[in-house]
Amino acid sequence: MELTILLGCFLGGLIIGLPVAITLGVSSMAYILFKGMPLVVIPQKMYAGMDSFVLLCIPGFILAGNLMNAGGITGRIVRLAQALVGWMRGGLGLTNVAASMLFGGISGTAAADAASIGGMMIPGMKKAGYPADFSAAITAASSTVGPIIPPSVPMIIVGTLSGISVGKMFIAGAIPGIMMGVAMMITAWILAKKHNYPRQEWQGLGELWKAFLGAFWAVAMTGLIVGGLLTGFATPTETAIVASIYAFVVGAFVYRGLKVRDVPKILIDSAVSAAAILVLVGLANVFGWILVSERIPQMIADSVLSITDNKLLVILLINLVLLFVGMFMETIAALIILFGPLLALATGVGVDPLHFAVFAVLNLMIGLTTPPGRRVPLHLRRHRPGHALGSHPRDHALHPHQHPRAAARLLRAVLQHLAALLPVELGPDP
């Protein structure tokens, strides 16, 4: 009875459009009340879920990204990407993807990528003659590369949940992120050739060198993060703090776009964003604790393994579940609730935990732009209302960009060694 109430409240909240954090809190409270347990369990379990040293790197990376963005990083990254690939057919589309790959190494979230890159690229692409549907669709789709390339907020959450090294997860996400970005650039080029989208003239090696110098300190921030983790010189939390200091120095004294008077507002905005994530983590931990107490994870694993223990079939099933859930639920909440049960199922058929963690995040990222949920396109519509993705034609514009990501996901799911290649070959456990 209590479990029915829990799941009923949860599904009802999602259907009527309540924020995921509130839905998790209300459904957990309903369960605890009907179970006759004291409500003090909720803050206790919330605090237990947030009481992790690794989670401290979330506000650090958010602050670093906001400081760099305020310092004028977006324009410099777009200029570098345009100098690299803008001369090809559909060059601004390729520039959009390349800029998202570079920006993802700083922001770590899809929403930040979509708002920052989209705010600059979509008007520019429309002015250059690209269809609004194509411009908005490729912006939304490419923004999901950000949480795969390090640093990555979802991977921090997974590392906290599972005990997998966050540093190893960051590095393990590099190859899938690059695979996804390259596949999307190829798709954009094919669409540009098919529809005869415009191209720009090659601006020469001089412009490429100037663009590289202009964006060097921004791109070097990713090298600082990855290098610190690879060498074992710093933990993810320490790396986040160093990255924040680095971002302030570069934005204020190198690029000189960051004004000291803007820093308090940036600190407040970063604190609010981090607090929203941590509250979601806490409430999802309460919900997850209830599922564990009801033995739901074990029931799921036993049920699936009683049907089949074929490794490829189980991986395919998990991929479909994560993709479906990613359409409707916040990535962090989905990870906290589902990662434990699905990890037990995956390891039960011999899947490496690091491999599973990376393709779990990858699937949820693809779900962000998959109809009918389309949560990143909706976020883009709130920030760029004149370039919304909403009706059927615009959903149709997203479909071509789903195929390369799905291909990269399937390749990534089957080839386990891609997850462990860089962590094993390039450095120690950070």
3-class secondary structure per residue, 123-177: HHHHHCCCCHHHHHHHHHHHHCCCCCCCCCHHHHHHHHHHCCCHHHHHHHCHHHH
Q: What is the pLDDT of residue 393?
A: 34
- Domain boundaries defined on the chain: 1-39, 53-426
**Nearest Cα to Cα of residue 50 among 142, 160, 172:** 160
Is residue 425's pLDDT more than 70? Answer: no
Indicate the average pLDDT of the chain.
Answer: 78
Instruction: Give the residue, 371 or 136, on which the prediction is more confident.
Output: 136
ω into 151 cis (within 30 of 0):
yes
CB 173 within 8 A of CB 152: yes
Is residue 267's pLDDT more than 90? Answer: yes
Widest distance between CA atoms in the chain: 72
Is residue 13's pLDDT more than 80? Answer: yes
CA–CA distance, 38 with 355 (Å, rounded to integer):
39
Is the entire prediction scored with pTM above 0.85? no
Is residue 19's pLDDT more than 80? Answer: yes
What is the chain's length? 430
Is residue 32's pLDDT more than 70? Answer: yes
Phi–psi pair at 234, nearest 5 degrees: -145, 150
Q: What is the pLDDT of residue 399?
A: 53
CB 289 within 8 A of CB 29: no
Categorize the per-residue pLDDT at 410 as very low, low, confident or very high, splitting at 50, 70 and 90: low
**Nearest Cα to Cα of residue 104 among 137, 81, 130:** 81
pLDDT per residue over 161-185, tens digit each? 777 877 778 777 777 788 888 888 8
Dihedral sign of CA atoms 251, 255, 261, 266 in order: negative
Q: What is the pLDDT of residue 430?
A: 44
The token pair at 422 is: 């860089």
Instruction: Give the DSSP letter of residue 295.
Output: T
Q: What is the pLDDT of residue 353?
A: 85
CA–CA distance, 360 with 385 (Å, rounded to integer):
31
Instruction: Give the residue, 254 or 147, on which the prediction is more confident.
Output: 254
pLDDT per residue over 304-338, tens digit each? 888 888 888 888 888 888 888 877 777 887 888 88
CB 65 within 8 A of CB 73: no
Q: What is the pLDDT of residue 300?
A: 80
ω into 372 cis (within 30 of 0):
yes
Categorize the per-residue pLDDT at 404 as very low, low, confident or very high, splitting at 50, 70 and 90: low
pLDDT per residue over 51-86, tens digit each? 888 788 888 888 888 888 788 777 788 888 888 888
Side-chain-side CA neighbours of 70 within 13 Å: the count stands at: 25
Non-local CB neighbours of 246 within 8 Å, separated by 6+ positions: 64, 221, 224
Is residue 382's pLDDT more than 50? Answer: no
Q: How many CB atoms lie within 10 A of CB 100?
A: 30
